[in-house]
Amino acid sequence: MTKRTTRTFTSEFKKQIIQLHAAGKSRKDILIDYDLAPSV
C-alpha cells in the first residue's frame, strides 16, 4: 500500500464541499469526485 502525502484544503474548498452536500449530493459521490478519504 502506498502512503498518501498529506494534503491541505483551503477554506473555500471546504465550504464548496459543504454546499454540495447541503444541496443533496451524496457523501459517497463527493468522496469519489474529489478523491477524498472517508475520514476527511
| Model confidence pTM above 0.75 | no
Sorted by sequence, the CB contacts under 8 Å of residue 32 that are 6+ apart come out as none
Q: How far is CA 40 from the centre of its chain?
A: 6
Residues 5 and 36: their CA atoms lie apart, in Å, by: 12
Least confident residue range of 1-5, 9-13, 19-23: 1-5
b/e sequence 2-11, b meaning 16+ C-beta within 10 Å: eeeeeeeeee
Residues 14-37: pLDDT tens digits? 999 999 999 999 999 999 999 998
Number of other residues whose CB lies within 10 A of the CB of residue 17: 19
